[in-house]
Amino acid sequence: MSSTPAVPQIPVVTLNDGTRIPQLGFGVWQVPDAEAVPAVRAAIEAGYRSIDTAAIYENEAGTGQAIAESGVARDELFVTTKLWNSGTVDWSGPQGRDRVRRAFDESLSRLGLEQLDLYLIHWPRPMHGNTFLNIWPVFEELRAEGRVRAIGVSNFRVPDLELLLKESAVKPVLNQVELHPYFPQEELRAFHAEHGIATEAWSPLGQGKDLLAEPALLAVAAKHGRTAAQVVLRWHLQSGVVAIPKSVTPARIRENLDVAGFELDAEDLAAIAGIATGRRIGPDPAGFDWN
């Protein structure tokens, strides 16, 4: 019996392998390890059941500590982390295979878990000859061994996905990408839908400030008696996108989860579509090559 409050009614997305992921999760990008403990604890207490981290965030240990201390049964939580681009760019051959498995083991150890729910390749790095094609078979092994329930990618473009689908036996369940009303990624989302790949949004609130001060969003928020952030998250849910907002403020953490009970109508959706700029806030995967 969990000691935490009843979980709010968060929609669930069924991935192409049958795995189910909450459509609204909690991200911990740019949250220091020590701060991840109270933040993730507050998120789980508020009702989040999906937690997203990554090796490069350097907060897997704090995230794992909060999960362990939450009192929530492991099978009620969905935990995602990601393989970083560290070290040499050569992921081929036995050494590359061992490096991927070692990175996975280290993430699992830091999280204090025996099984991961979702493991993602963090960046495609196409400038290095599509080395993700050497990484993906190891992900398939980890999945076959039951060490991870589902495997996917992050920041992949359409050409990257086309190549991966052509060369691989197991389809990625999900692609986690920058996505918000300024940068709605229509072409990529259409490709995902065509191939049964779920879309997950990082920085779903556009990293705050400018987006959440948009007059069009504020007008929609006032119409529904909600905040601009709640309107944006509702937009993601109605678009079929999985979203992982981040906050370290307990009140904001609870607010971001409170997106049931209202529906954006056609007029609202048109107003939100009108603020799209097509410009990224984060790096372009075509040229991102940070080790």
Total Cβ atoms within 10 A of residue 170: 16
Structure tokens at 119: 């493991």
Burial 108-144 (b: 16+ CB within 10 A, else e): bebbebeebbbbbbbbbbbeeebbbbbbbebbebbbe
Does the annotation mark 119 as catalytic? no
Whose CA is closest to 96, among 53, 50, 129?
129
Q: Of the listed 48, 57, 119, 182, which one is catalytic?
A: 57
Query: Greatest CA span in the chain, whole angstroms?
Result: 58
Total Cβ atoms within 10 A of residue 201: 26
Q: Is residue 194 a contact partner of residue 170, using CB atoms and an 8 Å limit? A: no
Give whole-number Cα distances, 147 to 37, 74, 90, 118, 169, in Å. 24, 14, 24, 10, 18
Helix 266-273 to helix 215-224 angle (10° resolution) is 160
Write out the H or E segment, with its range, that includes residue 14: strand 12-14
Which residues form the catalytic set? 57
